[in-house]
Structures are given as structure tokens and as C-alpha cells.
Amino acid sequence: MEIVEIIKVVVAGIICWLNFVLIDTYFGLPEKPGVLGAKTIGEKIRDIGGNIHGGYFMGNIVCSPDASAGTLLASIMSYLMGVEGGIIAALLVWIGNRLCADPGYAGTIGALTITAIIYLLSPIIEAKYFIAGMVLAIFTIQGFEHKYASILLGKIAKKMNRGE
């Protein structure tokens, strides 16, 4: 019984990881620091031996609510309210993006896509497992090992022609 739940959490984590990394890379987070604070985080990541484009990606996640925040908040609201909750979360994430002086497309589109994915997968994986999966996904990028995570993000950015 416990094994089935752990497998569900891991599968939801992989889906969330692919969702927010692909959307954030498509909207050009690794290209340049959007705000001034992201620049100093990127240079710090480069100083410890990582890739600077991965560093800009991490700094942009810290300094404004992007597709990662959209994914987490939309899965929270889908767990609590159903499909309408995801749309409310998208609106609130857009307001938060505008507060941090960002265009705000990445957060809104990330929230809407994860709402659609949860609605399609709801008979198999409930929305509760997506919350834990998103926390697991952000842990592998921001909390586990910064050097290798930034090198991996830099490779993905180079493959999608964003950065370099």
C-alpha cells in the first residue's frame, strides 16, 4: 500500500519537473537575469563551478514567482477546490508576477497547463500527490546540489536554443 503511494509521488514529481523546466526554458529564463537580484545569484553559482545560465534560471525562480510557483499553487488549489481553483491560482500568480516587475506569461501558462494535466490524470493520480511531487522536484533543483543541477539546466537550455 505504501509502495503504491510512493510510486505515485515519484511519477507526479517527474511530470511536474518536466512541466516547469520546459515552460521556464521556453520563455527564456536562462537567457538573462530578469531582475537585478538574479544576476548576483547566477554569478555566485558560476563561482562555485556551475553553469552561469543554470544560475540565472535558479535566480529567476527565487526572485519572482515563475512556472514553478504556478505549478505548486495550481495543484494546491486543484486539491482544495477542483478545476475552478486552478484558474483562480493562475490569476493570483499573474498579480504576483506583476508585483515583481516581470511580464508574467510563464507563471500563468504553467498554472493553466498543470490544471489541465491534473484534470486529465485525476482518475489515476489524485491532486494530493502532485503537491508532494512538486516539492520533490524543486528539492532536486534548489536544495540538493547546486553545481550539478546548474550544469544540467545549462545543457537543457543549450539544447532548446535559449542561452549561449
Partner 1 sequence: MDIVEIIIGVIALLMAIRIFLTRSRARKLLYLCCLSFCISALIALYVDSPMGGIVAITYFVCSTLSSNAIAYTIEQAKDIE
Contact 137, 127 (CB under 8 A): no
Nearer to partner 1, 54 or 161 (CB): 54
For partner 1, the closer CB: 18 or 80: 80
Nearest distance, CB of residue 143 and partner 1, angstroms: 4
Minimum CB distance to partner 1 smaller for 44 or for 158 = 44
| Shortest reach from residue 25's CB to partner 1, in Å | 18
Q: Which residue, 109 or 135, is less far from partner 1 as judged by CB?
A: 135
Distances (CA, A) of 81 to 13, 86, 124, 132, 134: 21, 8, 18, 17, 18
- In the block, cell 493562475 appears at 90
| Buried/exposed code over 108-137 (b: 16+ C-beta within 10 A; e: otherwise) | bbbbbbbbebbeebeeebebbbbbbbbebb
Rounded to a whole number of angstroms, the minimum distance from the CB of residue 161 to partner 1 is 26
Q: Specify whether the backbone of 163 is left (phi greater than 0), alpha (psi in -120 to 50) or beta.
A: left
User: What residues line the site for partner 1 (CB under 8 A)?
Assistant: 2, 5-6, 9, 35-41, 44-45, 48, 58-59, 61-65, 68-69, 72-73, 76-77, 79-81, 85, 89, 92-93, 95-96, 99-100, 128-129, 131-132, 134-136, 138-139, 142-143, 146
Burial of 149 (0-12, 13-18, 19+ CB in 10 A): buried
Closer CB to partner 1, 6 or 161, in the complex: 6
The CB-of-138 to partner 1 minimum distance in angstroms stands at 5
